[in-house]
Chains A and B, each alone.
With several copies, the nearest count.
Chain A
Amino acid sequence: MDKVYQKIEEAIADVNDGAVIAIGGFFACGVPRLLLQALIDKKTKNLTLTCGCGPMVGATEELRALVKNGQLKKLIDSYGLARSASKGRQDPFEQAVKAGTIELEVVPMGTLAERYRAAAAGVAAVYLPTGAGSIVEKSVVSSIVANRTPKETRVFNGKTYILEYALKPDFAFVHAHTADKEGNLRYSKTARNFNPVMASAAKATIVEAENIVEPGEIDPDCIHTPGIYVKRVVQVPRIKVRVGID
C-alpha cells in the first residue's frame, strides 16, 4: 500500500481545529519542523500539542509563530519552558502561560513515554514509581493550580506507585531519516527519541522523511517503526538545524 503524498499540505489536510497532535523530537533533535511549518501555514486553531522533551524549546521559531497566530490552546511536555529564566522572560510562549491564555501541563519524561506506549499497546493504565512523593501525585497544569487533580496512588511491595493513563493523540507528526513507500521507518541516531512511540500511539501518523525508498530497501531487521502505524509519508529536504537550547 503506497502511503506517499507529494505535497505536505495534502498530508495534513484533515488536521482540523481542536486536534491533539503529538510532536516528535527532543530539544532541537528529530523535530518534524516542516510539518510544523505546514501547520502554521494552515492556521489550524485550538491545538493541543503533546510532546516528549522540549521539541518546541528546540524549534523556537515555529513555537513563536504558533503563539503569535493564536493557534495553541495547550502544550503537554516534560520540558516546555526555556532553560533559563532570563530567556523565558522574553519568550511569548512563557508569557502566554503566565497570562493563562495557553495551558502548560508538565509530566515527567518517562511517564509521558509510558502513557504514549499504553495508548499504542491497548493498555488502559499503568502503575509507575516516578514522581511519588512529589507534586506529580497531582496533575501539574499551569491554569488549575488551586485545584490540581489528585491521582490514584497504590503501594506495591512497600513502594508507592502512581496510576497513569494512556494518552492517545489524534495525530502524530514524526521526522524520520528514511521511509519506504509502505511506511516502514528508520531514524538517525538520537533523532529517534520520541518519534517511534508517538508513531505507534496516534490515531493517524504523518511522517516527514528525508529519504523515501522502495519496500525491501531498508534492512528488514532494522525497522524502527513498522509501517502498520503510519498513515502518510511525505519527503522533505534535510534542513540545517542549530544544535543547543536556550
Chain B
Amino acid sequence: MEKVKLTGIPREMIALRISKEIKDGDYVNLGIGIPTLISNWIEGRDIMLQGEIGLLKSGPLVTDEEMIDQDCINASCQPIIEIPGTIYFDILESFTMIRGGRMNLVVMGALQVNDKGDYAGWANPSRGLDVGNIGGSMDLVAGADRLFLAMEHVAVDGNPKVVKKLTFPPTTTGKVNMIFTDLAVMEVTPKGLLLKEVAPGLTAKDVQSVTEPKLIVSPDLKEIEF
C-alpha cells in the first residue's frame, strides 16, 4: 500500500458528525481524545454524559481559570462545571452502570481497528514497554450498547490504522459498530466494513487506498454530512 496523504475533515468535525448519531435521552460515555470534543456539540441537548470517575450529566468544561474546583473534574482530568442535575457517585457505582449495560453509547479513540470490529487502543508497543494504560476502556467496551470509534484514518507516520490484522494488543474483539475518521464513516457489518460516507472531495477509491481491508462501498455512498 502506498503512503498517500489525503486531506480530510478536522477533528472537531469528526466530533460534530458523531454528535448527529446521538439520540435525545441517551446516556453516553466519551473517551479521551477526539471523543471528548463531542461534548462541545451537544450542549443544551437532553444527552447525559457519564464520567467514569463518578459523575453523570456532566456540565461543560471550565474555560475561566477562576472557576476551577479541583474536586470537580471529568475522567480526562479536566475541570468541569456543575449544572442542575449533575450528580456524583463513587467508582463502584460508576462501573456498575458501565459494565451493567446502562451506556447507550460509548465513543473511544483507537490506534488500530480491523474489519471484524476488533480494535486496539490501550498500548502502543513503540513506546518501548510491554504494558500500557488500560484505564476504563475495557470495562466501557464490555458494557456498551453501541461502540463507536473516533480516530484519524491514517497514523502520523503514514501507516494505515484501519488494518487487516491488528499488530497492537487489542482492547476488545468484535465489538465496534461504527468508525468515524477524518476521511470516512464506516459501519462494521458481518461481511466487512461498509463505506457509507466520505470526506468532501474524496472518492471511495481514495479512502480504499489508505485502508487495508477491502471496503464494501454502499450503494448510497455520500459525502459526510454535518
Neighbouring A residues of B86 by C-beta, 8 Å: 216, 220
How distant is the Cα of A117 from the Cα of B99 in the complex, in angstroms? 12
Residue of B nearest to A141 (CB): B131
User: Interface digits, A151-186 against B, CB 8 Å rule (1 contact, 0 not)?
Assistant: 000000000000000000000000001001010100
Q: Is the CB of A109 within 8 A of B135?
A: yes
Q: Is the CB of B134 within 8 A of A29?
A: no
The verdict on B216 contacting chain A, using a C-beta distance below 8 Å, is no
Which of B74, B86, B91, B170 gathers most chain A CB within 10 Å? B91
Which of A110, A119, A120 meets B139, CB within 8 Å?
A: A110
How distant is the Cα of A214 from the Cα of B79 in the complex, in angstroms? 25
Q: Is the CB of B96 within 8 A of A121?
A: yes
Q: Is the CB of A52 within 8 A of B85?
A: no
The verdict on B133 contacting chain A, using a C-beta distance below 8 Å, is yes
Q: Is the CB of A244 within 8 A of B93?
A: no
Q: Is the CB of B91 within 8 A of A106?
A: no
Which of A30, A110, A134, A221 meets B136, CB within 8 Å?
A: A110
**Which of the segments A11-19, A41-49, A65-73, A224-232 contacts the partner chain?**
A224-232
The verdict on A98 contacting chain B, using a C-beta distance below 8 Å, is yes
Within 8 A of A (CB), among B170-209: 170-174
How distant is the Cα of A221 from the Cα of B46 in the complex, in angstroms? 22
Which A residues form the contact surface with B (CB < 8 A)? 1, 26-30, 52-54, 58, 78-81, 83, 85, 88, 94, 97-98, 104-111, 113-114, 117, 119-123, 128-136, 140-142, 145, 177, 180, 182, 184, 187-197, 200, 214-216, 220-221, 223-224, 226-229, 240-241, 243-245
Which B residues form the contact surface with A (CB < 8 A)? 24-25, 27, 32, 46, 48, 50-57, 68-79, 82-102, 124, 126-139, 142-143, 169-174
